[in-house]
Structure 1
Amino acid sequence: MVFTYTPLEDIPAVFSDLQKTFRTGKTKPIAYRKEQLAQVAWMLRDHQQEWADALKADLGRPSLEADFLEINPAISEAKDAYDNVEKWSKTEKARWDMTWSVMKPQIRKEPKGVVLIITPFNFPVHLTITHVSSAIAAGNCVVIKPSELCPAVSELYAELVPKYLDSETVRVVNGDVPVVSKLLEFPWDHIVYVGSGRVAKIVAAAAAKHLTPLTTELGGKSPVFIDPNTDFELAAKRVLWGKLANAGQVCVAPDYVLIPRDAQDRFVEEVKKVYASFYPEGDPSKSDSFSRIITEAHTARIKKLIDESKGTVVFGGEANVQEKYVAPTLLKDVTLDDSTMQEEIFGPVLPIVPVEDVNEAINIVNDREHALCLYVFSNDPKYKAKVFDNTQSGGAIANETIIHVGATGLPFGGIGPSGCKTASVLKQSTIKLIILYTAGYLSGKYGFDILTHHRCTLDNPRWVDTVLMKGRYPPYTEKSTSFLKKMTNVTMPPRFGKAASKRWGLWLVFTLLGIVTAVLIKRQTA
């Protein structure tokens, strides 16, 4: 098929036009946001088969996976935002505080402006629509940059977005590296990037030049802890399915298994049984239930990991670069210096790393970069708590794999290298990139909050100067200083080992004084 790139000379106008639209306030009314969110959902539903066909063309995606892992979760994200945007957008009152309450401290939920969303090839519908829904719900204008590795899906965005969404507020830009480079020249109000850590560093450096907030979701090697006393049949089925969905090209796919050495063979036998039940014909390359790798280059990379592995191949191991096919592969007796343990596999290869016990497994995970997700299979609450309490990861999931991404109401995102919201600062004197990491979440209300400016407001009435803060103006006197000190005095926490002091009397006096004074002044000014 012919994949039409957006001309580079058109990109400045795209940015400028969206900026102008945003400044008109068009995207701010809740009714407008809901209309656009409804259109997002209907864009997917009306053309569900076309989206599934595009996913099949780009990724060899089975129809069930297209619906279950991509299209329906994406519709759910748009519908969730539609149902809740009014509640999410309401101005909030700050928590009550005696000193500030009369000034009506509030938090306004305002859109950030024009948001650039750069999405990946592995889930080009779900991981695009999720972020687009958050951005629209927050009242922003949006530029969608789909992955050029999915030409069929990207062409469908270019065709359908202008038909369903307002082109004055949402635009699609298609292209490869030069197009992305051009996009990154502009001072966006927020950038969302989902993809590899290597490219994320480039995006972060570009964002830093304009001090643009950046949210990333990057993946990493997500470990699986297997309790030797758990249900091995269930664990094998769910782990293998999570690893083989989309041929392993899932940012939260189980990347490797950690299991006590004396339980490894028992678990391997269960995985072999599950594998045989998944592909009874014995050849996944001929199955309609197994995807393909996105490009020949990615296929060659995964093949090299298998070829250089010193682990024992239990099943699989074959790869055909021209056909973009890598067989489901199980490796056992894998060591930490193995080729498959040096990078995120992002393919249908599952290494099993035998360990002495859960403590060694925890140490292995903690010695590596934080993963986007961590999985534990156990029926023992203490075992699960031990792993969760002593490790860090974006998500922590017990007795399941990958489906948590679509769970309504849960935050989805990484920590540190697996994904973050960054405040990027480029120190011009040393050309040194400094990135401050905080949590970055990209679904539901959490995605809405990331793409919303939480703006503080106060409205201080005139009578406050007369009664409570008159002494703040010069000339400063001993009397005014003493009064203000009492008004603003902070109740200290108790020193360690001592009981907290109680100041209910003073609190009550000031509260009553404030109420009585307010009533009297309002009567005088009425």
Structure 2
Amino acid sequence: MTTQNTPYTSPSEIKQIHANLVKGFKSGITRPLSYRRHQLLQLARLVQENIPALEDAVLADLGKQRQECTLAELGPIVQACLYAAENLEEWAKPKKPQVEEFRKTWDVTIYSVPKGVVLIISPWNFPYILTLGPLVGAIAAGCPTVLKPSESTPTCSAFMAALIAKYLDPAAYTVVLGAVEESTILLELQWNHIFFTGGTSIGRKIAAAAGKNLTPLTLELGGMNPAIIDTDCDLELAAKRLLFGQIQNAGQLCVAPDYVLIPRSIATPFKDAVKKAYEGFFPSDPLHPESNWSKIVNAAHFNRLENLLARTRGEIMLGGKVDENLRIAPTVVTDVKLDDPLMEEEIFGPILPIIEVENTEEAVQIVGDRPSPLVVYVFTDSEDLKQKFLDRTNSGTLVLNDTFMQLSVYEMPFGGHGDSGYGAYLGKRSFDTFTHERSYINIPAAMEPFFGYRYLPYTDESYKVMTAQAFAEIPEA
């Protein structure tokens, strides 16, 4: 395995890489569907043939357990590659839209063509799926790609760089290693699409840089994801599923539930249910030296989370302990108010505040008044409450009666809304993200008798014929 000491990519190398990929794209190497399918299957082999080593790398960087790594990251990449390879021909097929009768001889066609050379900038919390997942769409679309993984997971990033060079065509796909300086150099170059996953503050900088070159952009950000507990749900099941979603990767994921809104009338039994689920997940101390509990990625993030626990005015019901290995025990905080420090921004750690409200109507109002999150979780069997959240709140996704599992549904788009980002991917949406729909028509000479009215000099008759659409009858509402 490549070590953490792998050097960063130099500025001159970055510019040469970009120039080479542009040259490769213009030569047409990535356009044949057979080429794309081969690269997709190679990416699947890259993952499948190196699972233990990939698990070792993420264990070194994040302390993530093997099952979590392969379940949430490696398995979905393999499946995404196979799904794209199987459906590529259908996705790329030219489309013939329905047109008005008089245009049916124009051979109206929409071609799905690659946008060009693209840049994927990924974060550290799920280093494989958030780097190689978007790459599946770029390969399927026929786009040469530069991957810029996070410097905060150096073992994973260096290993991916070595594997990409070994398994994929280096004339079309490569990895740039580095931090802020290298990312800045990359963003100064001209790309045909940028795909960024990360925090909102950096996302704004990415958007500003992309705007200078009018570069199309996908932003997969985060936000404060609420979880709402209704009075009609199975509290023990809700507590177990909620806690499961919150503790994945020690809470360091963009779809983790950030806070719970629960009616006061069921707050006590719900807290008891959370305690029961916690004891089931952690029969012994999660910070025990032999525990497999994941660590916080670095000291800066650890100190931020530790500071939040010190500042909260709520009561720590479970957890709250930390250790010298950058680990924070899964922590549940009760009696939290909306103005508590825990509610200032996305927590991105294993801390779950519980906020008591009068009823679910108040919960709907709170969610609707706050910035749009990546996901809203609602535990209920009420169709009426579901409809209220659909009608009166916004989010990238609405999930009922579970957490985290929306990421496994590749048949629907995954993405943010408003403050949580824009653009989407997974399944065919990944192909669509990196594809330009190029319109085409071929006007036959037989149309010329009609077109005679469009030429100068204009007459009363030509006006009547050529402007008829503007005077179409409008029906009553």
Aligned to 2:334: 332
Aligned positions of 1:436-515 closer than 5 A: 440-466=423-449, 468-486=450-468, 488=469, 491-496=472-477
Note closer, same or farther for the CA distance 1:386–1:285 as it changes in structure 2 (3 Å cut).
farther
Aligned positions of 1:14-29 closer than 5 A: 14-29=17-32
Aligned to 2:262: 259
Aligned positions of 1:89-488 closer than 5 A: 89-286=92-289, 288-320=291-323, 322-420=324-422, 440-466=423-449, 468-486=450-468, 488=469
Aligned positions of 1:71-86 closer than 5 A: 71-86=74-89
- Residue 227 of structure 2 aligns to a residue in which SS? strand
- Residue 455 of structure 1 aligns to a residue in which SS? strand
C-alpha deviation, 1:336, in angstroms: 0.6
How many angstroms apart in 2 are the aligned matches of 1:195 and 1:346? Answer: 11
What one-letter code is carried by the residue in structure 1 that aligns with 2:415? G
Contact 1:118 1:192 in 2 (8 A): yes
Contact 1:279 1:287 in 2 (8 A): no
How many angstroms apart in 1 are the aligned matches of 2:431 and 2:182? Answer: 27
Contact 1:245 1:290 in 2 (8 A): no
Contact 1:77 1:129 in 2 (8 A): no
Aligned to 1:427: none
How many angstroms apart in 2 are the aligned matches of 1:52 and 1:71? Answer: 9
How many angstroms apart in 2 are the aligned matches of 1:208 and 1:472? Answer: 38
Aligned to 1:502: none
Match status 1:58 vs 2:61: yes
Contact 2:260 2:352 in 1 (8 A): yes
- Residue 396 of structure 2 aligns to a residue in which SS? strand
C-alpha deviation, 1:3, in angstroms: 3.3
Contact 2:364 2:388 in 1 (8 A): no
Note closer, same or farther for the CA distance 1:169–1:313 as it changes in structure 2 (3 Å cut).
same
How many angstroms apart in 1 are the aligned matches of 2:365 and 2:45? Answer: 47
Q: Identity over aligned residues, as a percent?
A: 41
**Which of these two proteins has the greater Rg computed from alpha carbons?**
1
What TM-score comes out, normalization by structure 1 length?
A: 0.88
- Residue 397 of structure 1 aligns to a residue in which SS? strand
Aligned to 1:504: none
What one-letter code is carried by the residue in structure 1 that aligns with 2:355? V
C-alpha deviation, 1:389, in angstroms: 2.2
- Residue 275 of structure 1 aligns to a residue in which SS? helix
How many angstroms apart in 2 are the aligned matches of 1:295 and 1:236? Answer: 29
C-alpha deviation, 1:39, in angstroms: 0.5
Note closer, same or farther for the CA distance 1:4–1:285 as it changes in structure 2 (3 Å cut).
farther
Gaps of 5+ in 2: none
How many angstroms apart in 2 are the aligned matches of 1:60 and 1:185? Answer: 34
How many angstroms apart in 2 are the aligned matches of 1:395 and 1:58? Answer: 30
Aligned to 2:45: 42
How many angstroms apart in 2 are the aligned matches of 1:56 and 1:76? Answer: 22
Contact 1:285 1:327 in 2 (8 A): no
What TM-score comes out, normalization by structure 2 length?
A: 0.97
How many angstroms apart in 2 are the aligned matches of 1:176 and 1:42? Answer: 28
How many angstroms apart in 2 are the aligned matches of 1:483 and 1:195? Answer: 54
C-alpha deviation, 1:284, in angstroms: 4.1
How many angstroms apart in 2 are the aligned matches of 1:349 and 1:285? Answer: 18
- Residue 258 of structure 2 aligns to a residue in which SS? strand
Contact 2:287 2:322 in 1 (8 A): no
C-alpha deviation, 1:179, in angstroms: 0.5
C-alpha deviation, 1:287, in angstroms: 5.7
User: Cα deviations across residues 35-67 of structure 1 (Å, max 9, x unaligned)?
Assistant: 101111110000011111111111111111011
